Amino acid sequence: MKGKLVVALALALCPVLLPFGKAGSGGNACDLVTKKEVEEVIGQTIDIVEVQPGYGNCIYYTKEKLLDEILKIPVVTVGYTRSDVQERWNSWSSMPKSETIKGLGDGALWSPTYGFFVCKFKGGLLMISVQNKDMAIKLAKKALGRIKP
C-alpha cells in the first residue's frame, strides 16, 4: 500500500506528462536542452535525466524524500515530433485558456491549465511540460536552434 501511495503522490505532484511522440530527425530529445540549461532556467538541481522509453521524450527529474522513500519527481519534459502535427496543434490550440506566444517558430501556445508549451517549427512540434510560461519560453529558445530539418 505504501508503494502505491508514493506513486499516486508523485503523479499528483508532477506536471502533465503526455506522450509527445518520437524525437525529430531520429535525434534524442535530450540533445535539445542540456541538464545544465534546465537547471539554470528552473533554478533547481536536476538529479536524473532519462529518455522516456517508447516515446523519445527527455524527462528531467529531481529526487525528493517522502515517508522514507526517495521519489523521482519529473519537473521538465521536452519532446519533438513530426507525427500528427496538425491534429496535435488543433487539440492544444483549442484548450481552454491557451495563450498564443508570439515570436517563436511558426506559432506557439502556452496552456496554463496543464503547464504545457507547444511550438510549430520545421514541420514538427516542440513540446515542453514545465511549471510556468517564462521557463517554457526560455527552454524553447534554447531547443529551437538544435532541431534538425
Q: Are 119 and 112 in contact, with CB atoms under 8 Å apart?
A: no
Tell me: the pLDDT tens digits for 27-72?
689 999 999 999 999 999 999 999 998 889 999 999 998 898 999 9
Q: Which helix (H) or strand (E) holds 69?
A: strand 69-81
Confidence bin at 7 (pLDDT 50/70/90):
very low
Flag whether the pTM goes above 0.85: no
Which one-letter DSSP state was computed for residue 121? E
Strand partners, 58: 51, 78
Which one-letter DSSP state was computed for residue 30? G
Domains of the chain: 2-144 (3.40.1000)
**109 by DSSP, 3-state: which?**
strand
